[in-house]
Structure 1
Amino acid sequence: MTDWRDFTDDGLTPTLRAARELFARNGYHATSIRAVADAAGLSVPGLYHHHKSKQAILSALVGSAMDRMLAHSRAADADSDGSALGRFDNVMECLLRFHMQRRDDAFVASTEMRSMDDTVLRRHVAQRDEQQRMIAGIIEQGVADGTFRCRHVDDAARAAASLCVALAGWYDPAGSLAPDEVVARQLQIARRIAGVELPRA
């Protein structure tokens, strides 16, 4: 992986890109298979050749996004200096940038959990939990070495992850804040959640 901060290459097929846009704009249930096929430049039978159902499209779309997020998170962790704070900062920055650069993917993955069948939902929850365990493990390292003060590690990990998820809902690329500014501000909040002692202003 060349740069864990860069999510511009989504690795999706035209069908999945079309579905992502439609699901994000209209919702899963309001989007028909024909609408996805039309947007992807396919016939309905042609679409079914690649994906057996709309649920299969949702599964492929969300699964791809989560796989990429986890791969980048592991790369960010490996690229750190190995300290708890270094690992935490890298992984949180990675997640923040994912939710800024891949807002539609993050939005669909979050809001359409209600639309996933049991198999798809179990896979998605397992991937989400893996990400949260990564964060929790880093916080535990910080608590053990005294750099973090956190009594409820799992709660803090969930809250830090949720901070990133929420970013997909309010971040505006055309807004007044540059991505680096957003990362810097949100990272300070995430550090507070995890119990990192910050210098006084």
Structure 2
Amino acid sequence: MVEDDLGVTRWRELGPDSLTPTLRAALGVFAENGYHGASIRSIAEAAGLSVPGLYHHYSSKQTILTALVESTMDEMIAYTSAAARDAGDDPVARFDNVVECLARFHMARRDHSFVASSEMRSMEPDARAHHVAQRDEQQQMVEDAIRVGVASGDFTCEHPGDAARAIASLCVSIASWYRPDGPLSADEVAARHLGYARAIVGAPTGRT
């Protein structure tokens, strides 16, 4: 398959993220304490920097949150786009790949996804508007996959927009409860959620 701008060629295999050490430290602080419970000093300490050293890289806590969320959304969109392309012209495979990719992303990037979802309320207007646009782009990929399947006669979904929102929400919620040491493996979680998503759009159930 063709490599995209972020170098995604194996969309099922999410390796280390591309965050800088400072952003990765901030991610841990935000995930544990929330945006408003985090201080510049606590982020600097987690990153092994002085407060002036942190300000050398980022001008404010808001700038850090914005960069972290944007990086997460860029990565999710890149992986989902790669998954959709990998299906070729098969409408059902395209839908399956997009849903499976979203499920796997929210397992592999639990803290990233949690912070991006829960701290949208903490973003300043311009940053929030950009985040909403990225979120809409991501959800549109789900909706487009459903509409293609409806057009081909593979799906019986009457309301693709509503279905896309339901499926996206289903996948996002994984980040809040999935644990690698839990009773279900990542493959099992992905398979179960793909089954739920197929039921929502009226997709065939016999394919794997």
Q: Distance in 2 between matches of 1:139 and 1:24?
A: 33
The match for 1:21 is: 28
Secondary structure at the counterpart of residue 106 of structure 1 = helix
For normalisation by structure 1, the TM-score amounts to: 0.96
The match for 1:36 is: 43
Residue 108 of structure 1: how far off its partner (Å): 0.2
Residue 4 of structure 1: how far off its partner (Å): 1.0
1:139 maps onto 2:126 in alignment: no
The match for 1:172 is: 179
Residue 198 of structure 1: how far off its partner (Å): 2.4
Cα deviation, 1:11-50, whole Å, max 9, x if unaligned, reads 0111101110111111000000000001101111111111
The match for 2:103 is: 96
Number of residue pairs matched?
199
Which of 71, 88, 103 is 1:64 aligned to?
71
Task: Indicate if the aligned counterparts of 1:77 and 1:90 stay in contact, CA closer than 8 A.
Answer: yes
For normalisation by structure 2, the TM-score amounts to: 0.93
Q: Distance in 2 between matches of 1:6 and 1:41?
A: 30
Q: CA RMSD in A?
A: 1.0
Task: Indicate if the aligned counterparts of 1:132 and 1:158 stay in contact, CA closer than 8 A.
Answer: yes
Q: Distance in 1 between matches of 2:148 and 2:29?
A: 41
1:74 maps onto 2:87 in alignment: no
1:183 maps onto 2:175 in alignment: no
Q: Distance in 2 between matches of 1:91 and 1:82?
A: 14
Which amino acid in 1 is paired with 2:56? H
Q: Distance in 2 between matches of 1:53 and 1:20?
A: 15
Q: Distance in 1 between matches of 2:13 and 2:127?
A: 27
Residue 172 of structure 1: how far off its partner (Å): 1.3
The match for 1:121 is: 128
Structure 1 portions without partners, runs of 5+: none
The match for 2:13 is: 6
The match for 1:194 is: 201
Q: Which runs of 4+ in 1 moved over 6 A?
A: none
